[in-house]
Amino acid sequence: MQIGVITNPNSRKNKGRPNRAAELQSIVGTLGQVRETNDVDSIKPALREFLRNKARYWVADGGDGALHWMLRMGMEVLEEDEFKGASLPMTLPTNGGTIDFIAHNVGIHGSAESLLATLRNHLENRRNIEETEVDSMLIEGVRMVNGREESFRTFGFGVAAGGVGQRFFSKYYEHDDPSPKTIVKVIGRALASMPVAYSPLRAIPGLPEQLRRYARDLFEPTACKITMDGMILPETAFTGVHIASMSINFVNVLRFFHKADQTGVMHAIVGTPTPLQIVRNLPRMHRGKEIIGRGMVDRACREMTMEATSNELLEPVIDGEYYRDVKRVTFKLGPRIRIPKVVGPQHRA
């Protein structure tokens, strides 16, 4: 066996597809195993099985979140006595989500079906499979669980930790089927709301609540203390706190974190720009340019810590996955992750 695939039957894209696992198994054939993971707790048993069977490739049938959980659970399994000394296999993202920035960053295009078919074909015919390595982030913190502090550790590639980026995701995931159009829709609703939300007009009776609140909710600052490479930033509330270990292209609408493409550093975008300054930066975000505005820190870094300083605990969004009720979180460079550069047939030149 060379390919291990996990697929979540409860994910948004797999609902209504009860034969999903069987379909993927028919594609990988005798070269692979497909395991359904109904919840997070079922991921580790599947990965243990893949390790025992010496699978060289781990495949997450899903988007950035699916790869995130496979990576986190895989790192924890590798610390178990049975697997001491083993290395993380090559991991393959499959463009099953709404943004898929990890796959796009390394040039992987195509559906899970086409990528698995290509991978199997290459293995059967002993063709060379090009691989690349990317930096990950080691993310460690403390969160509140049932009134008690609990430590956590995970790995990731891109984080909207506070302010407009983090609150954007709450608006984005309000939609039943978020897509590239949803990004434009969220921006459009914020622009429409701003003239009302930040003026006396919001007191006019009968105005839709979306006009009154949408922009204010989106641009609400996050109260926190931030330390970056040993330097405490002077502000006490931030309208943006973001960090990544690779560049991110939000489906050709917004582009960020190009400095993280340099090996060995992360890229932090942190500051206190006003809502109007954020809007004025939209053309720069589209082109992937440096963000400018009040109190902006937009640079490469090696470590950043964020601590909640109010009753509102942190809710960082890591690779599209929410981590709630966080008191403190630290971002450092994590291990280099090996990714096979497989491209579906319809995307080949």
> What is the mean predicted confidence (pLDDT) over 75-84?
95
What is the pLDDT, as a whole number, of residue 346?
Answer: 56
pLDDT 10s digits, 27-51 = 999 999 999 998 899 999 999 999 9
99-138, pLDDT tens digit by residue? Answer: 788 888 888 888 889 999 999 999 999 999 999 999 999 9
Domain boundaries, the chain: 3-136+337-347, 158-318
318, 67 contact by CB (below 8 A): no
pLDDT of residue 332: 98
pLDDT of residue 345: 65
Asked whether residue 339 carries a pLDDT value surpassing 90, the answer given is yes
| 3-136+337-347 CATH choice from 3.30.559.10, 3.20.20.70, 3.40.50.10330, 3.90.1150.10 | 3.40.50.10330
pLDDT at 349 over 50: no
Amino acid at 207: L
Q: Is the pLDDT of residue 21 over 60?
A: yes
Q: Long-range contacts of range 9-17, CB-CB < 8 Å, 24 or more positions apart?
A: 9/36, 9/38, 10/38, 10/39, 11/62, 11/66, 11/96, 12/177, 13/62, 13/96, 13/97, 14/61
Q: Which CATH number is 158-318's, of 2.60.40, 3.30.70, 3.40.1000, 2.60.200? A: 2.60.200
**pLDDT value at 10 more than 80:** no
pLDDT of residue 246: 94
Q: What pLDDT shows up at residue 64?
A: 83
pTM, rounded to two decimals: 0.91
Whether 234 has a pLDDT exceeding 70, the answer reads yes
Distance, in Å, from the CA atom of 190 to the CA atom of 196, rounded to the nearest integer, reads: 10
Residue 70 has pLDDT above 90, yes or no: yes
- Tens-place pLDDT, residues 254-300: 899 999 999 999 999 999 999 999 999 999 999 999 999 889 999 99
- Note the pLDDT of residue 344: 64
The pLDDT of 87-91, averaged and rounded, is: 95
Q: Is the pLDDT confidence value at 59 over 60? A: yes
